Amino acid sequence: MRPAAFLHRWRRGLAFAAAVLFAATAQAAAPGVRDLGGAWEFRLLPQDLQAREHADATQWRAARVPGHVHTDLLAQGLIPDPYVGAPEAQLQWIGLGAWEYRSRFDLDPATLRRAHAELVFEGLDTYADVSLNGEPLLAADNAFRTWRLPVTGKLRARGNELRVLLHSPIRRLLPQVQAMPHKIAGNYPSPYGDEPKDAMTGNFARKPGYHYGWDWGPRYVTAGIWRAVRLESWDGLRIDELHLRQLRVDADAAELSAQLQVRADAAGPATLEVDWLDPDGRRARSLRQKITLRAGEQTLSLPLRIERPRRWYPYGYGEQALYTFRARLRGEGGQQAQVQQRTGLRRVELRRPRDAAGQGFAFAVNGIEIFAKGANAIPFDMFPARVSTQRLRKTLEDARAANMNMLRNWGGGYYESDAFFDLADELGLMVWQDFMYGGGMQPGYDAGFRANAVAEARDQVRRLRRHPSIVLWCGNNEEETAWKDWGHRRTLTQADPAFAQEVWDGYVQLFGRDLRDVVARESGEVPYWSSSPSNDLDEKANDSAKGDKHYWDVWAGSKPIAAYLGESPRFMSEFGLQAWPVLRTVDTFASKAEQGLATPVVRAHQKFLAGAGNERLLLYIRAGYGEPRDFADFVYLSQVMQAEGIELAALHHRASRPHTMGSLYWQLNDVWPGASWSSIDYYGRWKALQFHARRFFAPVAASALRKDGRTALNLLSDRTQAKPAQWTLRVIDFDGREHWRDQGQVTLAPLAATAAGAWSDAELLRGADPRRTAAVFELQVAGEPVSRRVVYFDEAKSLALADPQLRTQWRRDGDAAVLTLQAGALTRALWIEFDGLDAQLSDNALTLLPGESVQLRVRADADLERLRRSLRLRWLGAP
């Protein structure tokens, strides 16, 4: 789009829409950009060992770029759907093969006349030889790097042929790993024989670690041209990048440095102009400066000052203000280049004050300490090229709808797309961003590996540093604690003390110095943290008194869920309980005949303990809820257990503020349909946990937690202003008879947990039957109920829950149906679903008090009669 057309759009008032258009990278604003996706072909290399058994894959067939070998084979009907049934074992040959991709393209005369041309690959997975018109250009070795290949003088008008040969990462690395006298620790060994269990290669490859299998996803070691490919061409002058370095941002002013990476063919005078548009799209300022260019690459800087800036805040603390900056460079002879960038202005800190309990860990944005509420995000698919922006938007909007303000992008996947971070910026979701090191130990002792890692980090930090949502760069996931706490150091030290020290020294160099230096140089206003969990290379890695904590004694360690109440870290960055997705999702990969706790297909979609995770689920379900009647009841109870358990932990974390300043459960989303710790399944369907999270992460909430026969009430507020409130306590029978009540007036302290009272069981029950009694705590602000917490005096399986005599009523309201539910008695963990329908409900996973009614909006492609017929209700204690 020409600058005049750009300004015309703004003047017509389409300000925000235009800002989105101009959020493109410098490359998109280059004089010539040719997308080279689309018309590609692929094949298994005919001389590959796998060709003997898979000759049909050696023929050239249509491929999709960006894409992956597995998805191309699926599209051509050469393999079954990798997610349906249990085909995983029979598909491991794909990761052992060498695959070739080719594309042919023509070019117009204008492109051929330009002085410069570069092929740009945003993602090659992973060991890839690239050639153009028969001439080798690149031997790539990192799926996370952007590769820019000069091709000036190598192009022709007709019949350019681009070829990419993708080598098996297992076969490429296995000889050198097997040759090691002593192995460094890997992650999940393959159960399929495609790789020896004592010589795992995944932690030596710079490719997504989860492709090698995880305890929530399958093993599909794919390959492909997984991100965009394009040809860029230009004459004389080019801006590679605009970076707005935020030197100081406060309420009075934002002091910035506009830094431009420029390439010029010739020295000479030029004019640099920078202007910006405020978050409403109004042109705020324009600065112009005469400069002298030198031939070659150079950095230009221009100081900027914005008075009384509209700052970017996390959701719930202020607006998500985003400015659009534009830089134009005009040289002699009419040459010019321009670039646009959208960013938010904010100051982010990782505060770590020392105190009597250890050392704190809290994020502050624009001076406000934020209690981080959210979840860990994993890859959205085994094959990321097929993740749409629409899917990202829905999931991130669902996170915000559950009152989350932070997501941790976990280090065993890939660096998310620009679209992910644009959405996080807009929605006010802070992002804790791991570098992509997710398990095992890295060969940081190898200088070549570290150099590759530093180049990768530089590419990714530069790509993502414009996003105000990123508040932390973290070196890796669980590698320090694995070395120190899981026996990795001990085992290797016993075998070879000198090599063990070399491995650790390489770790400290890579994660303690190299990546820290990249972040400081390239994105200095964002803090760096060496590992999660850690205290940034302190002696103890997973310490409740310092740093961030991963707590898996509950679930992985089989401790009871109540143990959550005994763990109060400074920042809980991982904890979780597993559950199955709803039956409608299970139906997508397993027929009804294939559904059962121990059937082969269900075990194939349960990756914890190599398929035996249902036994762990049963341990927790039986402890709290009794024996499931059938598989459908097992699925339902798994979700109830997960939701109620994570709610207990999250409320405890919030009630422990300011000692604890974050609660990120594992995990938000799924990589495929199966059992996992997610609250939103692969198809975007909410589990019970997601509905509960909307309540326990509410900005104002009641935390009533019972421990050792005593219930403490804390009132939680994330508001920045004090608020008058009232709490009410009622002790009732399950049939609705009230034993007694109490209430109190309180001022909710801002950004705090306010203690409101504590009662022993005897004080609450006053002789009532604990099996038939509940304590109901409610919080009202300005006379309106905002939160409720029901406390029971025994495990759910031991309670005398009666038939609630639920009554239903339907009516139509515009484009939605309205379901009214009324309970005759206490109804715990009510789950509403519809046979054969995907229905969106305004709420679910409810507890209704005796006599209470609730109205729910239901959106589905069905009339009222079909909704009425397909309605199914589940609750604890149902016959």
**Within this chain, do residues 90 and 175 fall inside the same structural domain, yes or no?**
yes
Q: Rounded distance, CA 204 to CA 176, Å? A: 10
The amino acid at residue 194 is D
**Within this chain, do residues 123 and 78 fall inside the same structural domain, yes or no?**
yes
Contact 838, 867 (CB under 8 A): no
**Within this chain, do residues 70 and 156 fall inside the same structural domain, yes or no?**
yes
What is the 8-class DSSP label of residue 168?
Answer: -
Q: Rounded distance, CA 349 to CA 472, Å? A: 9
129 exposure class (CB count in 10 Å sphere: 0-12, 13-18, 19+): middle
Listed in sequence order, the residues at least 6 apart from 489 whose beta carbon sits closer than 8 Å to its beta carbon are: 483, 500, 504
Bridge partners, residue 787, by sequence: 779
Q: Rounded distance, CA 704 to CA 712, Å? A: 6
Count of domains observed in the chain? 4
What pLDDT score does 852 carry?
Answer: 97
Give the three-class secondary structure for 213: coil
What pLDDT score does 783 carry?
Answer: 85
What pLDDT score does 694 carry?
Answer: 98
Which residue shows structure tokens 């960055």?
A: 573
Q: Is residue 155 part of a domain?
A: yes
Nearest to 829 by CA among 787, 878, 776, 769: 878
What pLDDT score does 878 carry?
Answer: 85
CA angle 732, 736, 741 (to 5 degrees): 35
Q: How far is CA 516 from CA 154, 592, 610, in A?
A: 39, 52, 36
**Phi (first) and psi of residue 78, to 5 degrees:** -90, -15
**Within this chain, do residues 175 and 324 fall inside the same structural domain, yes or no?**
no
Tell me the pLDDT tens digit for each residue of 719-772. Answer: 999 999 999 999 999 999 999 999 999 999 999 999 999 999 999 999 999 999
Q: How far is CA 229 from the centre of its chain?
A: 25
What pLDDT score does 524 carry?
Answer: 85
Q: Is residue 75 part of a domain?
A: yes
**Within this chain, do residues 73 and 209 fall inside the same structural domain, yes or no?**
yes
The secondary element (H helix, E strand) that includes residue 7 is helix 3-11
Q: Angle, nearest 10°, between helix axes 631-655 and 688-696?
A: 20
**Within this chain, do residues 181 and 42 fall inside the same structural domain, yes or no?**
yes
Q: Is residue 713 part of a domain?
A: yes
Q: Is the overall model pTM greater than 0.75, yes or no?
A: yes
Q: How far is CA 715 from CA 314, 599, 787, 872, in A?
A: 22, 46, 10, 35
From 286, 308, 343, the end of a domain falls on 343
Pairing of strands 160-167, 99-105: antiparallel
Q: Which residues of the chain have pLDDT under 50?
A: 1-30
**Within this chain, do residues 224 and 241 fall inside the same structural domain, yes or no?**
no
Q: Rounded distance, CA 23 to CA 243, Å? A: 13
Give the three-class secondary structure for 644: helix
What pLDDT score does 879 carry?
Answer: 79
Q: How far is CA 166 from CA 500, 532, 707, in A?
A: 33, 32, 57
Contact 151, 133 (CB under 8 A): no
Q: Is residue 206 part of a domain?
A: yes
From 798, 815, 842, the end of a domain falls on 798
Q: Is residue 327 part of a domain?
A: yes
Q: Rounded distance, CA 572 to CA 754, Å? A: 20
Structural domain boundaries enclosing 751:
700-798
Q: Rounded distance, CA 673 to CA 382, Å? A: 11
**Within this chain, do residues 45 and 135 fall inside the same structural domain, yes or no?**
yes
The first and second tokens of residue 176, run together, are 């050198």
Whichever domain contains 818, its CATH number is 2.60.40.10
Q: Is residue 519 part of a domain?
A: no
Listed in sequence order, the residues at least 6 apart from 165 whose beta carbon sits closer than 8 Å to its beta carbon are: 45, 98, 99, 100, 128, 129, 131
**Within this chain, do residues 54 and 105 fall inside the same structural domain, yes or no?**
yes
Tell me the pLDDT tens digit for each residue of 349-372. Answer: 999 999 999 999 999 999 999 999
**Within this chain, do residues 241 and 103 fall inside the same structural domain, yes or no?**
no
What pLDDT score does 16 carry?
Answer: 39
Q: Is residue 544 part of a domain?
A: no
Q: Is the peptide bond before 80 cis (omega within 30 degrees of 0)?
A: no
The first and second tokens of residue 458, run together, are 């530089």
**Within this chain, do residues 210 and 264 fall inside the same structural domain, yes or no?**
no
From 739, 766, 798, the end of a domain falls on 798
What pLDDT score does 275 carry?
Answer: 95
**Phi (first) and psi of residue 289, to 5 degrees:** -145, 135
Q: Is residue 45 part of a domain?
A: yes
Contact 716, 768 (CB under 8 A): no
**Within this chain, do residues 202 and 121 fall inside the same structural domain, yes or no?**
yes
